[in-house]
Amino acid sequence: MGKRFDPGVQVGVVIVGAGPAGLVLGNLLLDRGIDCVILERRGREAVEGRARAGFLAAHSVRVLTQHGLADGLLARGHTHRTCLFRSEHGEFTLDYGELGRGEVHTVYPQQELVRDLLAEYLRRGGEIRFDTEVEEISEGGRVRTSDGTDVTGRYVAGCDGHRGVARATMTAHGTRTARWDHGVSWLAVLVEAPPSMEAVGYALHERGFAGHMARTATVTRYYLQCPRGTDPADWSADRIWAELETRFRVDEFGMLKDGPVLEKAVVDLRSDVLDAPGDGRLWLAGDAAGLISPSAAKGANLAVLQAERLAQALVSALKHADESDLARYAADCLPRVWRAHEFSHWMSGLLHGPSAEDTENTVDARARYGRALQYARLDSLRTSRAHQDFFAENYTGI
């Protein structure tokens, strides 16, 4: 796709992975005159069609706008500024756009952003190879592919996710990883139905958490907390809607707008961060550098932040033979990464009470204590302006 590279010629940067991190990085490098090639293991249709998160923070929108990558989201995205919390104690809505720094989200489905970024990358003359599995990344910057068409970069950017070869290469060379398993799983459901509420909806229920996130005028994302090891095939459309109606308490607050289930998958909430997101010729961005749970919608936004910082560092190294920005890449990114993780961890504690197994015994003291703490957190968020400002600043910030 695009121009074909000569395997015998070294390029400036080999980017492994065509997700948001890799495509933002590729566009920023091309804009500064750095030659690069993207290697992607999936086909183009799979890359452009994968439905993921859709909430872009103000910083992400600024970065994309400044670099000419926001035409689609500015034309078709819409701003979002409220979230609703619902429980057995009632419901309340926070207008987080009026709190904290006064920032809002832009809702734009990630697959549409990826299509925009890919189209712009190709328009700028970028080179990409789909259906190309990377098997090995050498210390010399040589990337060995499954089809034998290897390529060497002065630098390699690993943007191929937390299970990709780039991360495996870093950890094989001794890079340590900090990990946390939140002990929670979600059934993620995409439905062909308009949003049922203007706000992002968070429902706390003794049966588990349920979430409502608008994607477009006709498509909505729902989440249902479920036991670890759940098979999505066990959840029929009727069962999904019945459980959503129970947890969102439709008898009290009104019905949900239902529709066909387009896809369903189970997500285990886990987080990790590499101690060092790169060294020498190999540098990581996005999920390759650290996986964050989806409880606060930070993944794509961290990817944009890291791609921007890594692009700046690689331009300095390649154009000015100055690797000082690369040396500072971790110091620039990791404090923000950890702050996002801290808030995501806090959100997980707010949304998820004791497990269904814990609450089967209604006299279990530990379960009752955990449920009471959950509602105390929620009540503090409802009543404390200082808590609300903290929430808004971290909910929209990176």
Catalytic residues: 80, 202, 294, 298, 395
Select from 38, 84, 76 the least CA-distant residue to 54: 76
Beta partners for residue 181, in sequence order: 270
User: Residue 182: what are its φ and ψ, rounded to 5°?
Assistant: -75, -10
Task: Indicate if the alpha-carbon torsion angle 36, 41, 43, 46 is positive or negative.
Answer: negative
Task: Indicate if the alpha-carbon torsion angle 167, 317, 140, 147 is positive or negative.
Answer: positive
Instruction: Give the C-alpha distances (Å, rounded to integers) separating 112 from 119, 261, 298.
Output: 11, 20, 18
Question: Who contacts 35 (Cβ-Cβ below 8 Å, separation ≥6)?
Answer: 11, 12, 13
Could you write out the DSSP letters of every residue in 281-307? TEEE-GGGTEE--GGGS-HHHHHHHHH
With contact defined as beta carbons under 8 Å apart, do 141 and 14 qualify? yes
Q: Nearest 10 degrees: CA dihedral of 133, 305, 77, 225?
A: 70
Select from 223, 177, 207 the least CA-distant residue to 347: 223
Pairing outcome for strands 105-107 and 78-80: antiparallel
Task: Indicate if the alpha-carbon torsion angle 316, 322, 325, 327 is positive or negative.
Answer: positive
Task: Report the chain's terminal Cα–Cα distance, integer Å.
Answer: 33
